[in-house]
Structure 1
Amino acid sequence: MKITRRSVLATGAAAAGAVAMAPVVARSNAPRFSLGFAPHEGSFKSRGSRLEQIAYAADQGFTAWEDNEAAGRPVEEQVAMARALQQRGMTMGVFVASMPKWAQSRPVLGANDDGDRTAFLADIRASIAVAKRLNAKWMTVVPGFLDPRVPLDIQTGRVIDTMRRAADIVAPHGLVMVMEPLNTIVDHPGVFLQTVPQAYAVARGVDSPAVKLLADLYHEQIQAGHLIRTMDSCWSEIAYLQFGDNPGRKEPGTGEINYRNVVRWLRAKQFAGVIGMEHGNSIEGRAGEERLLAAYRAIDAA
């Protein structure tokens, strides 16, 4: 995932006083989803501006929202979005705290040069203020690319050390960095973190509540498959999920992933967190938005 990666894609205690909060107003016209599915800007593009899309999503029963690009938005837009979510009783999902510079194949957190690690930690420090304005608890990090000149085990040790230093920065603020593995087969060749089990090993090495992992099931299906077995094995370190079907990265039901069974499994696990709708719509316009809603109603009823 990169901060500009989707042409189709578009709560920490310390954040409580960051935005002037209005009372929660219940305006939903549809039953609330039982799981924390989180649309994003563009999911309901025909409904107007970002804030109008948030209002529409709330009216359809969604209880969360996701915005990968939030850190790059003007402060006033961050504050307005946080206020809109609070007014509708919606949880803010992830925003991107640190993402590779794809054209430069950087950062390389496991390399011999410490410069990329220093820059990564600067990104993390800068993200604290963003999280507080957004009333966000989780922030996405992707720990860069592989260095073919350095043994993988050494790179892994350096990434763990870097994530420990990052954890020391965010933990006092009650924030959680979720590391996202990306597939190398279709979308992101050369990235360091490629599977959920690999991210699990790094998180266990860091051993901090401030460092967990994001299981994006689109990426994991491409890279390794065995989604339910993998999540079960790594569950203690999974703090956030993202859905997207494969192939095509559209709404559930357009590809090969049995999201009904995934939802049944998550419900049995009593998962109460956010599930980002990290995909586009298979059909353009309002018809595609209706299809998106129907797809999530169908798997939520599983």
Structure 2
Amino acid sequence: MRLYSACIEWLFAEEVDSFADRIRRAHAGGLTAVEFWRWTDKDLDALAAALKETGLAVTSLVAEPMIALTDAANRQAWLVGLTESVTVAKRLGAPVLIAQAGDDLPGRSREEQRRALTETLKSGADILEGSGVRLGVEPLNIRIDHVGHFLDSTREALDIIDDVARPEIGIVYDVYHSAVMDELTEDVLDDRLDRVFHVHAADHPGRNEPGSGGIDLAHRLDWIFANGYAGAVGLEYRPTRAGADAVKAAIASLGG
């Protein structure tokens, strides 16, 4: 049974009310898990209460602060934030924190930036060790949504994870970002699927609900699960239709 996680930054957000009520709407709509981005702009007490009330799981949230890990000068500030993010993740029961590399810095070589990113992740692994929380670095497409981002290649992300060589550090594989960059899932993940801690899904064009575009999402997810992935799939898309029935239809298009 696959676990689908509603990204409540975009899903179940139709009504103007508290962010925590999106958890309740997801539960009423038949979802068993949610995820969201930043935690520093949320009422954590209200989120914890809604999660306890509904029994929903949190699959992931963002490790803050969201600053460039390609800049060694940011390392200490990010590590302090990571420590706080781990505490929040443990409180909410989230097994995965998500990080992004940051923009390609002008005047810095890729080698220098990659070295800074790798060393920062190694230091982060020391903080994560024994916590029960892991960190996934997410490559992003640079053609539409994140022009100028440093890390747009799944293969390069996996190479960096191999350089870090710590079980606490892996990647988030976003099928949408990967497809926009013309990657084939089975090629880029190949024999390194064990480094994937979390998966995101959206269709293209538009980054809308699965089934609305041309990405072979069901096929790609079938391959991922058939080859041993056992984590959650985050429904991180911009909905064109509101309501739980639309979310259920999106899940059905992915194979249920």
Same fold (TM over 0.5): yes
In structure 2, the partner of 1:64 is 33
Which of 1 and 2 has greater Rg? 1
Q: 2:60 aligns with which of 45, 69, 94?
A: 94
Q: Please give the root-mean-square deviation of Cα atoms over the aligned residues, in Å.
A: 2.2
- Cα offset for 1:52? 4.4
C-alpha distance after superposition, 1:235-266 (max 9, x if no partner):
12111000011110111111111122123223
CA contact (8 A) 2:211 2:253 kept: no
Q: Which amino acid aligns with 1:141?
A: A
C-alpha separation in 2, matches of 1:143 and 1:83? 33
In structure 2, the partner of 1:276 is 234
- Cα offset for 1:199? 1.1
Q: Which amino acid aligns with 1:95?
A: L
After superposition, residues 98-177 of structure 1 pair within 5 angstroms as 98=64, 100=66, 107=68, 109-111=69-71, 114-177=72-135
Q: TM-score, normalised by structure 1?
A: 0.76
After superposition, residues 179-218 of structure 1 pair within 5 angstroms as 179-218=137-176
In structure 2, the partner of 1:30 is none
Q: Which amino acid aligns with 2:2?
A: L
- Unaligned 5+ segments in structure 1 are 1-33, 101-105
SS of 1:98's equivalent in the other structure is coil
C-alpha separation in 1, matches of 2:110 and 2:73? 19
SS of 1:172's equivalent in the other structure is coil
C-alpha separation in 1, matches of 2:89 and 2:250? 30
Runs of 4+ aligned residues of structure 1 deviating over 4 Å after TM superposition are 46-52
Distance verdict in 2 for CA 1:59–1:228, change over 3 Å = farther
Q: 2:246 aligns with which of 279, 288, 291?
A: 291
C-alpha separation in 1, matches of 2:132 and 2:41? 22
Q: TM-score, normalised by structure 2?
A: 0.89
Q: Check if 1:54 corresponds to 2:23.
A: yes
- Unaligned 5+ segments in structure 2 are none
CA contact (8 A) 1:216 1:242 kept: yes
Question: What percent of counterpart residues are identical?
Answer: 25
